[in-house]
Amino acid sequence: MSALSTPHPGVVTVTLNAAIDQTLDVPGFAAGAVNRAVAETRTAGGKGINVAAFLAGAAIPVTATGFLGEENSAVFDTLFRRRGIRDRCLRLAGRSRVNIKLVDREGRSVTDINLPGLHVPAESWRGLLTVVDDLAVTNRTFVLSGSVPAGVPDTAYAEMVTALHRRGAFVVVDASGPPLRHAVAARPDMVKPNAAELAELLGRPLKDRAEVMRAARELSESGIALVVVSLGAEGAVFVEGGRALLAVPPPVEVASTVGAGDAMVAGVVAARLEGGGLEECARRGTAFAAGTLSRLGPELPPPERLAELMRAVRVEDARVEEL
């Protein structure tokens, strides 16, 4: 029986580099020209914060921890209060970073401008490790995701994986670059890179979907129970044990791709917490990701629309050993 097949009190998401996502709807955006936004939204962001938002409202309690800047934490306070997310974030002097998203629906493009984040003092990093250890007493599912801010070592997720496994937790890592490489060496229970992040991790190009599946198998065979590789509009690859699935979403109108990967993580975690197998994880994770594409900010569509998307997801069984 997998670690997520048994009941758990709740899910904890860890966001080391939280952000405020400022999304500007700019039809026909052109670099080097005067552009006019027709709409603006500001939402609490950062990958772990997004996962918490997507999971909130279900029967499973959700806790968010990590670092926030004291000077602009109000948007996070509002999100936590509105969604019923338990707040165990540490406040630091300064401001959480702002990520500006320029969305051009006409041109179907998103331009990202990410500002610098907080510098985390060594004592604050040690304080967060204490908070996470405390949360592991009563929670057994942890999602560690996003970039690592200045002051936090690249080994941050690896340290957390090792400590949480000692507590018997199921640990998901969604990161990139050196933090992902170190985390993979600690053998988390699930990872969710995209194809480019997986290629960087393995140090070789992945030219097609078959090569992505082979690479996902390598990670699975190294001791990571569930490997999910997102492929954008082509869907995602899910590998567990000797089985591989390709999940392809139905066509949807894209308002923004921001948070789609986080929605996929949330969908997979939600499915597994309800005892779902690999196909249910693939179907729900892909439906969550597709559902958020038509919305600005970390929002899922209504339950009936999610159910419709889940039915429309095409799941294909691929025998990994034949690739």
Superfamily of domain 45-93+120-317: Ribokinase (3.40.1190.20)
Told to judge if 189 belongs to the known catalytic residues of this protein, a careful annotator would answer: no
Determine contact, residues 213/202, Cβ cutoff 8 Å: no
User: Using alpha carbons only, what angle is made at residue 44 by residues 39 and 30, rounded to the nearest 5 degrees?
Assistant: 35
What is the tens place of the pLDDT at every residue in 35-69?
999 999 888 999 999 999 999 977 789 999 999 99
> In this prediction, what percent of the chain has a pLDDT beyond 90?
78
What is the tens place of the pLDDT at every residue in 263-284?
999 999 999 999 999 999 999 9
Determine contact, residues 176/197, Cβ cutoff 8 Å: yes
- Please provide residue 261's backbone torsions phi and psi, each rounded to the nearest 5 degrees: -65, -35
Sign of CA dihedral 245, 54, 75, 72: negative
Average pLDDT of 168-177?
A: 97
Three-state SS string over 112-163 comes to EEECCCCECCHHHHHHHHHHHHHHCCCCCEEEEECCCCECCCCCHHHHHHHH
Catalytic entry in 21, 174, 189, 262: 262
